[in-house]
Chains A and B, each alone.
Chain A
């Protein structure tokens, strides 16, 4: 439903501000190593492709070509993230077809007996759909934190890649969802 759709998008801004290890490049002169550490992490947006560290110590961008490649990779990652969200929604909907009804008699007014029916919709803990959802959830959490960390590099090119990839992914994957999945919801 509507609220479910919006709940999915709330994890964008909820990235935890866990402590980040400061970059420590060994310098020959130790007297201004403190200043050196302060300027390692940019705190304002910039456009550049020299010496841009991307998530891992082995991923350092130094040329325009490498930045272009990184842009494409980040764009695809953000697109994949949106697709994963939509796919999980669809999987959840499909696996919740199993509905259990429990009916029990309860006393009503004037001595009548009423039938109270409880409807339970859900998955069993050890069922394959639930385990699959859990694995996909872990992947989703990891990717969402990666995207947050990429945005935190404050590099303008990479931030644009994240935003554009998210928008394109939403456009492409939500299209199918808006046409197909809501029709099946109507049929239920």
Chain B
């Protein structure tokens, strides 16, 4: 196993059937890995969004809502209200857990891909993380 980064058109990635021999195959593989990294960043944002949804379903106002409330001078009561929908909260939390499993698996896949020490693949991971972060993180603040 190579212990240093190399430029090569041959690599076997993750699975027995994913064996690359040609420049075309390598380009495609880099694209797939890039999309995998974009997916990883999106999952992180998705989890945060679901957490936000779960908090909404508990009827606990987030700091943003509190600011909006004070701006509007509303006179609603501020005691802890009964949760609006326990089932929706449970679904949000379960969804978060599924996303967490996906995040763990995709994260480890990316680590193993980098471990192939193929420089093209490494570039794909790094670029994909950048593109994924660029596209996904602005969606954090959209409500």
Contact = CB atoms under 8 A, between A and B. Distances in A.
Given A9-B103, A162-B108, A43 B48 contact: no
B1 interface: yes
A167 B101 contact: yes
Interface stretch (A101-109, A118-126, A168-176): A168-176
Interface residues of B, number: 39
Contact of B55 (A22, A148, A182): A182
Which of B52, B61, B115 has the largest number of chain A CB atoms within 10 A?
A: B115
- Chain B binding site: helix, strand, loop or mixed by DSSP? helix
Contacts, number: 96
A49 B18 CA distance: 23
B12 A171 contact: no
Interface string A27-48: 0000000000010010111100
A148 B110 CA distance: 12
Contacts of A9: 44, 47, 100, 103
A138 interface: no
Contacts of A46: 16
A5 interface: yes
> Which range contains the number of A residues in contact with the other chain?
35 or more
A175 B61 contact: no
B111 A13 contact: yes
B111 A148 contact: yes
A45 B93 contact: no
22 contacts: A2-B51, A2-B52, A6-B48, A9-B103, A10-B44, A12-B107, A17-B111, A38-B1, A45-B14, A151-B112, A152-B112, A152-B115, A162-B108, A163-B104, A166-B101, A166-B104, A167-B100, A167-B101, A167-B104, A170-B97, A178-B54, A182-B58
Interface of A: 2, 5-6, 9-10, 12-13, 15, 17, 19-20, 22, 38, 41, 43-46, 148, 151-152, 154, 159, 162-164, 166-168, 170-171, 174-175, 178-179, 182-183, 186
